Amino acid sequence: MDLGIAGRWATVCAASKGLGRACAESLAANGVNLVINARGAEALDEAARAIRAANGVEVIAVAADITTPEGRRAVLEARPDPDILVNNAGGPPPGDFRDWEEADWIAALQANMLTAIALLKAVIDPMMARGFGRIVNITSSAVKAPIAELGLSNGARSGLTGFVAGVARAVAGSGVTINNILPGRFATERLAANLAFVSRRSGRPLEEVRREAEARIPVGRFGEPREFGELCAYLCSTQAAYITAQNILIDGGAYPGTF
């Protein structure tokens, strides 16, 4: 399927690895030029080189912390007024809510709520003026079904979800869509770190924890980042113009509800 977005520009945050990188790769495979971002320059430059070589698109790499105003400014200035924005940042650490101080909550809100809102605010008016825009926020299945040890994520991402529900409808009709993709469990470094935390906390071998986690997923395995990236690219397509204000789970059937 031709997604109708070749030649457009996308800004993909937190994209040197994992789900953000997969989104960047799928967009590039559809001819989209990219600004990609992460804090670590080495992995980011490697990602930029690989994506350029595989797809022949332009890729601008901006090494910066997207959760800071300076980082966001650098990313936005690299190529102003993107057609597509993929909001992403590292997830907050797992833990027990009794151990979290106000500063931990502020950091989680910055990374997983306020950064996405600031970037959306910076790009949306030009998108509306041009009559085309796609904003995709990477959130988490934790928004629909909380994950006990990820309380910071459960809380901060729900805040972003509530905001998006309102603004997506307010701008609908301008050619701009805003959707959230809710990953279940995908085989990335982040997932490996979360499984290691559960293993340490429970004193059980990591392999046992991993097998048990996979067995709880009806599809019987963790998701491949590529599967996530392809969904993101589709939501950014011309064909997806009628999909907005949605929270789309991609979790191998793990969420047990009917709706």
Chain residues 50-69 in contact with ligand NAP, contact rule CB under 6 A: 65-67
The reply to whether 19 sits near ligand NAP by the rule CB under 6 A is yes
Q: Which of 3, 10, 11, 17 is close enough to bind ligand NAP by CB under 6 A?
A: 17
Q: Which of 123, 186, 229, 244 binds ligand NAP (CB under 6 A)?
A: 186
Q: Considering the complex, what minimum distance in angstroms separates the CB of residue 187 from ligand NAP?
A: 7
Alpha-carbon distance of 207 to 196, in angstroms, equals 9
| CB 179 to ligand NAP: min, Å | 15
Cβ-based nearer residue to ligand NAP, 89 or 127: 89
**Which 86-115 residues touch ligand NAP, going by CB under 6 A?**
88-91
Least distance CB 67 / ligand NAP (angstroms): 4
Shortest Cβ 224–ligand NAP spacing (Å): 11
Beta strands in the chain (DSSP E): 9-12, 33-38, 59-63, 84-87, 133-138, 176-183, 247-250
| b (16+ CB within 10 A) / e for 52-91 | beebebebebbbbbbbeeebbebbbebbeebbbbbbbbbb
Q: Please say whether the beta carbons of 183 and 162 come within 8 A.
A: no
183 is an interface residue for ligand NAP by CB under 6 A:
yes
Interface of this chain with ligand NAP, residues 120 to 139, rule: CB under 6 A: 138
Distance CA 7, CA 30 (A): 9
User: 175-196 burial, b if ≥16 CB within 10 A, otherwise e?
Assistant: ebbbbbbbbbbbebebbeebbe
In degrees and rounded to multiples of 5, residue 32 shows phi and psi of -90, 130
CB nearer ligand NAP, residue 31 or residue 93: 93
The answer to whether 188 contacts ligand NAP (rule: CB under 6 A) is yes
Q: Which two tokens stand for residue 178?
A: 């805003």
| Alpha carbon distance 42, 55 (integer Å) | 20
Three-class secondary structure of residue 253 per DSSP = coil
State the Cα angle at 113 between 131 and 235, rounded to 5°.
Answer: 40
Min dist. Cβ of residue 195 to ligand NAP (A): 10
Question: Which of 2, 77, 96, 189 forms a contact with ligand NAP (CB under 6 A)?
Answer: 189
Closest approach of ligand NAP to the CB of residue 236, in Å: 17
Shortest distance in whole angstroms from residue 173 CB to ligand NAP = 30
* Cα(228)–Cα(8) distance, integer angstroms: 20
Q: Binder to ligand NAP among 11, 26, 30, 37 (CB under 6 A)? A: 37
Name which of 8 and 21 has its Cβ closer to ligand NAP: 21
The residue written with tokens 């959306």 in the block is 120
Give the interface with ligand NAP as residue ranges (CB under 6 A).
14-20, 37-40, 43, 65-67, 88-91, 138, 140, 183, 185-186, 188-191
